[in-house]
Structure 1
């Protein structure tokens, strides 16, 4: 289904086309937020495919490590949420291909075991073959990972063994006993910039709220920023990129993280690594919630330390920065990197709460109109009234939940378009922001 933005009513493909503009001075349902995507180099897991990980899921099948392992730090940070907003509900994880990667393997007698995936995690696997007294010439073959048995089979010959979640078996002939043959040769390899292009192609069909990039390659940063903007303009999919160290991105679709943190256990995370938490928190927050002054669970210090003027400079530059207040790390202000304002894209769009609202409305209208209205509703007075009623009901729900204010039915206009199969929809909304500045005058007599 086509979608995206428009400047004139000249589209060829049937679709839902939406544009945002700031002013001077069947029904639709409010969809859920909370999906994050990240392309992360790893030491285990399927290569070059999108894996869907639900909050609370066992991470071992995806990354090769338990939830408390350092290798899963990025997922743990993504799923933290804040002290007052929910964590994301899902991560779309993609392991990029890497040049020079290799699967660990071992040959023990007639049996060859090969790690299911490339990476150094395969070197933690051992195969133990134990001879049984009954039946004769039969063996128990155990797959051991990090000292824990994860699979056991009974067989006489190598060719009768079935692969498991960790290794594949090959070979022919009778098995021979071994006290533990460790797989070797597993290599992570080096991820090239081209692997991120493959990721962007793979992730495009999926719906997500936030894309995280925790690297520093300028070519990858540029490609991801262009991708996020393109899928909004051409496909009608509205999301944000969360990254760090960007050079003047100046975009409401990009959040530029400028602070690292120290966690309570002493772990220090750079600003690039803090994108994990920031991306998850931004995705989990709803359209009527702000992260300004929301706290980062488990973080005790923010770095670099900034003066008051330093924070002002960072905010003017469109940076998402953190500060520490009595051992609790908080978001200074929930903003994106937009710093250049126009008549259409005004200063209001620098607030991520506003962007969450706009993205929620745009994505909901796109998905639900595409599914239930295009090619179904007549383009006449009655049909256009049906469109309007759906939008009005939807926005009244948004208003009831403090996303917008001062809205009534007259703020929605549905007109016949310039061609017989087109309609033009005009919506005026007044957004609700969170209180961020409190000015108090104390008069003492």
Structure 2
């Protein structure tokens, strides 16, 4: 009996040990599974935070401007598309609220650009509300655009850093502010660059414009839209001075073709949806805070640095000439177009009646040869340029532009008032101050 009891006790103990071992294994397995899930979630959260951090602080360098802000578009939509960011929304409203009776609330696209900066300042100065919109792409030195942004910030003008193709961001902005007007100046600029990166022109000048119009058509009320076309649309036209009644169906560059396409798109959205649209064909705008890819700008830089300058002539020996238009005159034209823009007639994507559709030239009416441009800059800088006269390459540029501004003068009193010598003097003063080259110019003058 004793042996039997011992055996029974031994068997019972063994079973208990096996059961306890089983329980421990089960608990360990559950603990391991729970720990794995926790570790996975923690790792995923850390990874997302790191992606967010590096996206904000170290954006990838784009291969071309059509990819400049793909990540930024997603990020901006994620941050603001859900209605978060009350402080950000407060800044938007503060910037866009007019300070004068019956003042406009204007969304200025391309606000960090040359014309956009000057127009934003002029609108704010007279008491309108202004909100900027720009993607700060790298077509030319973004630091100049950031400097313009700082200038606007000092005048209580906020720029939203986003792309025209970011539908969620545009919709969000219109949800926050019922803009009365849009001054659409954002575009991929430059004639020659189109040969290197054609897709950037399609993405910005056509797709971006269409996206803006798609958002605007659905609003109630719809804003009136004034936008930048270009004198380049006249292309191979030989009738001078260029009139809005002349042919524009023979563009000489892809840039010109996208601007002409924009005018056709504007006609469509005006006809179907009742959007009030005004196109402004700018003629070679120049002045302080200008674009570094323009001749007057890099001529100034090259003269100071002692680099040779190419002076183009046509294959038949004619001098290339442009209708150079000072920035202050362009700004007056833009504000005049805004002031005379009628309200859109649609709402919620439905047209209620005929809407205003206009096209205007904004130029100086006095073409000047590039050689004369260089002479004025030499005199202002007191430095003799090193010149090389070469035949104009087949890169899409046209040899001559000359604006007829009769329509703009009739409809909103547009009258250019700044001659090239006066305008360039103001530009050079800004240039030597901004880049700090006064001492270098004086040294070059002494050497001469």
TM class by shorter-chain length?
under 0.3
Scaled by the length of structure 2, the TM-score of the pair is 0.22
Greater relative CO (CA pairs within 8 A, separation 6+): 1
TM-score, normalising length from structure 1? 0.22
Q: Which has the larger radius of gyration?
A: 2
Between Structure 1 and Structure 2, the one with more strand by share is: 1
More helix by share: 2
